[in-house]
């Protein structure tokens, strides 16, 4: 197993752990919100905190799901292509997916720079908190797509 594979396996475990903790936090926050509403207590911002944590839960695992080939994909037609066409299609799709991941990561970095000192209204969550999980998850996903694309290109030459 290469160093990259070992690193990616460790990152995958870490991202799943962060997502599991995030899910637990969302569950606690939403339970507290429901209880507070039913008891007539008004605990402001619980749903907004849960949404911020939910963003982490969703984006942080994007790369891990891609690594395990469990991300959402529509391959009904591509699986029916003949082998050489399928390989070329996978290479092109890998390049396009990598490009889109990099566009989103770049946009997130620009947004962090732009909104570095900004906070969300009413609960003062720092705005960069919303962009960091997209940067992490989609950077990992980009690495996955790059590795698959390189593997596809290498399979053409062999």
Are 71 and 145 within 8 A, CB to CB? no
Does the pLDDT value for residue 158 go beyond 80? no
C-alpha count within 13 angstroms, C-beta hemisphere, residue 130: 20
Question: Domain extents for the chain?
Answer: 3-157
Average pLDDT of the chain is: 90
Tell me how far apart the alpha carbons of residues 4 and 116 are, in angstroms, rounded to a whole number.
32
Q: What pLDDT score does 97 carry? A: 93
Q: What is the pLDDT of residues 130-152, one digit of tens each?
A: 999 999 999 999 999 999 999 99
Q: Tell me what pLDDT residue 1 has.
A: 65
Q: pLDDT band at 88, cuts 50/70/90?
A: very high
Whether the model clears a pTM of 0.75, i.e. scores above it, the answer is yes
Which DSSP string corresponds to 81-120?
S-HHHHHHHHHHHHHHHHHHHHHHHHHHHHHHHHTTT-B-
pLDDT at res. 5: 82
**pLDDT for residue 79:** 82
Q: Using one digit for the tens of pLDDT, what is the confidence trace for 30-86? A: 999 999 888 888 777 888 899 999 999 999 998 888 888 887 777 787 888 888 888
CA-based nearest residue to 119, from 110, 109, 129: 129
């Amino acid at each position: 197993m290469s160093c990259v594979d070992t690193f990616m396996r460790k990152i995958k475990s870490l991202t799943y752990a962060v997502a599991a903790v995030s899910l637990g936090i969302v569950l606690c926050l939403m339970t507290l919100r429901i209880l507070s509403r039913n008891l007539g207590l008004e605990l402001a911002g619980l749903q907004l905190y849960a949404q911020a944590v939910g963003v982490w839960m969703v984006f942080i695992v994007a790369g891990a799901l891609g690594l395990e080939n469990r991300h959402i994909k529509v391959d009904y037609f591509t699986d029916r292509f003949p082998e050489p066409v399928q390989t070329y299609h996978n290479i092109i799709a890998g390049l396009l997916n990598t490009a889109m991941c990099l566009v989103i990561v770049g946009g997130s970095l620009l947004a962090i720079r732009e909104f570095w000192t900004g906070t969300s209204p009413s609960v003062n969550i720092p705005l960069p908190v919303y962009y960091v999980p997209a940067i992490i998850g989609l950077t990992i996903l980009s690495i996955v797509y790059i590795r698959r694309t390189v593997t596809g290109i290498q399979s053409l030459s062999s």
